[in-house]
Each structure stands twice: as structure tokens, then as C-alpha cells.
Amino acid sequence: MQELADVGLLVSRRRADKVGRPVQEYESSQSLCDLVALVGQGEAVHQDLIVRLFSEPEIYALGPFSAGVVGTCEEKGKPARKPTRKDGRPAAPGAKGRLAASTRVLLAALLSFADQCGVATGVSETRLRAMTGLNALSLKHQVKRLISLGFIRTHVPGVSSGIFVGAKVPTIYYLNLDHPQLRTARGECGLVVHVALGPEKFDRLATGIPSAQTLKALGPAALEMLYHKLAGHTSRLLSAVWAEPDEIQREVTAVVAANIANELGDLWVGSPAKDKGYYWTGMQDNFHAAACEWADSLHKRLLRWNVWRGYRPQLVRLIPAPNRTDGLTISSLVVYPAPQSAVTCLVVWDKYDGRVDHYGREEELDLALRCDAGLLTKD
């Protein structure tokens, strides 16, 4: 707070009218008010939500795994804290169960990088620390806090690997814009959870690769990032296939191919020591073909199950589920904007005895299914 006062965003006042230690108070400065007013003129996708985080106190630290009522700690066996102090003044926000300031600041920073479906890419840990004032340990703690409360669905840690162009690929964050503490009266996005038989994550990546062992040699962290990168490109292709005419689809397909070439290098095929082997230059083309196949397959399956007939999303983002051992593959499709329907959440059981389950909102889904689908991460 004092650092904000030092740069002129807050005005510090000390009250000495009480017995004991003087009370330190802070008020918004005119500079801060002017900056907030300028936000309305910016181009941030989630600027209204960011303003809410800094202006609305009634956003609570409650998530899908929370037990008890706002303002209580029943889930930990602790008594509820009183909302007022002994002298009658309001208690600190934490005593009322409100979302803490540092947590809001990090969430606002992530929202400034997120697209309409809540996927934030391209932001490094160094950039987040600079934006929030958090050190590395505090940043890690706040990310875990947002995950435990369901504001972050899941995240893919950044990784350094020779398969990617550049020094390091930043972490990917999947935010939940329809969290009960954030959403508007009507949800921002729709959701389709698609459950089918195979293939597994590694199998999809390995298709067309000269040797599957070369992928395993990259390590689990790089493989996970590679799979989510594939899901990102598939998302863009699916958005075009689902909503655009053929000529636009061709343009998007070419753009995706160029993007893949800019971020993905050649794959080494041979011994780890690299004394015998070669760089497989077909990695980019193979990766692009895998994304096209995945997008086309998902689109055909959605048509087969009559998913929101006539609906054309502006954006689709694919959230891959954690790897499974039961032969099922789960993919969650977050679509923007939400369909003009009372049903904005569907679960498609795409099997021989399949069916489609309809829900008004994502929060009506069973918690276990949401975790299995990668929509929530349970500690």
C-alpha cells in the first residue's frame, strides 16, 4: 500500500484521534481515478471484469470445492470471524471471506492477456512479477490459490526445449470466466464436454512421427506443452470450420501453418547423444496435419450429435483433459459467445450407446466430471 502511495496512486492519511497506535488510512488519488476512467477507452478484452476486481468488494474467496457459507471457515473446523472489530469499525476483507487484494491483482494481470474464452498465453513469470509486485514464491502461492478456488481451471507450466523456437515457452493459463463470483447474469461462454474412445494424448502426437521414442525423449513437460500447443492450433481451425465459409477456412489454415513453423522446430530422430541420427524437417507439416485432422473430426462429431444447430461461434478454445488409462478421451470446448439458449452446457457421450446431456450452466456438472475433463484442478 505504501509503495502505491509513493507513486501517487493512493493518498496516505494517519489518524491520531484514537488511543494507541495511529490508524493508517489510504484513499484513491485523483491519478488513480483518472487511470481507471481511461480503462474504458482501452482495448482489453476483459476490461469491465478487471475494473470490477478493483472496485467491487463483494467478490468472495469461494470455489467449487468450498464448504460452508461466505464469511465462515467451517470447512476447516474454525468458527466464523466477526465482520466488525471491537471498536465497531468494519473488519478487514479477509474476515468477510472476500477475495484478497493480491489474488485480485494476479487475476487481473492474467485477464489482461486472456482471450474471450479465458485462455492466457504469452505471459512470462517475469512479466507477471513485474505487473503484480509479487516475488516468485508469492506468485506461485497465488496461482495455487486461484486454482484451488476454480478461477484458474488448469495451467501448463512453461518449458524450455529444443523442439520449440525460442528460449522458453511461457506458461498457458486456462481461466474460468463463468466462475460464479465473476460471471454476469448470463454466462459469457458456452461449453461442450466431448467424451469418446481414444486416441490417447501421446498417440495423437506420435501419429506420422518416424519413431515414437523420439517424442518420449523430449520429456513429459515438453510433451504436455506440445499437446496443448496442438490443442491451441486445433481450436483456431475448429473456429473457422464451425463458423466460416470455405474461403476463410483456407486462409486460417494457411495462417495456422505459418504459426506452427514460427514456434516449432525440427525433431531429432536418433540417439540422444546426437552422434547418429538426423533432424526430421517434416515435424511442422505433420503437426499441422494432426491439428487439421483433430479439428475436422471434432466438427463432424458435433454435427452428428446436433450440437446447437445453427449456432456459429466467434471463437472456440479446446481444453485437453488429463491423460487417462480407461481408453476414453475427453476434450472440453469453450465457445464464445454463449449460445442463445437456455442450455449453454452439453456433455456429448460419443460412444455406441451415446447420448447428449443438457445443462443450463457449467456449475451444474458433477464435480468429478469437471475435474476429469480438465475444467477444474483438485488439490
- When divided into structural domains, the chain yields a total of 1
Q: What is the enclosing helix (H) or strand (E) of 156?
A: strand 152-156
Question: Does 309 reside within a domain?
Answer: no
Question: Does 151 reside within a domain?
Answer: no
What pTM does this model have?
0.85
Can you say how many angstroms the Cα of residue 216 is from the centroid of all Cα atoms in its chain?
26
Residue-wise pLDDT for 238-274, tens only, equals 999 998 777 778 899 999 999 999 999 999 888 766 6
Question: Does 67 reside within a domain?
Answer: no
Nearest-angstrom CA–CA distance, 79 and 76:
9
Q: What local confidence, expressed as pLDDT, does residue 75 receive?
A: 40
In terms of residue numbers, what domain contains 7? 1-42
Give percent of the chain above pLDDT 90: 56
Contact 337, 344 (CB under 8 A): no
Mean pLDDT of 135-144: 96
Q: What local confidence, expressed as pLDDT, does residue 86 receive?
A: 66
Q: What local confidence, expressed as pLDDT, does residue 73 receive?
A: 35
Give the type of residue at 287: F
Which of the pair, 319 or 96, is modelled with greater confidence? Answer: 319
DSSP calls for 202-232: HHHHHTT-S-HHHHHTT-HHHHHHHHHHHHH
Task: Read off the C-alpha cell for 62.
Answer: 469461494
Question: Does 32 reside within a domain?
Answer: yes
Nearest-angstrom CA–CA distance, 209 and 57:
53
Question: Does 263 reside within a domain?
Answer: no
Question: Does 171 reside within a domain?
Answer: no
pLDDT at 92 over 80: no
Nearest-angstrom CA–CA distance, 111 and 50:
7
Q: What local confidence, expressed as pLDDT, does residue 303 receive?
A: 92
Residue-wise pLDDT for 179-224, tens only, equals 999 876 567 899 999 999 878 888 889 989 988 888 888 999 999 9
Question: Does 254 reside within a domain?
Answer: no
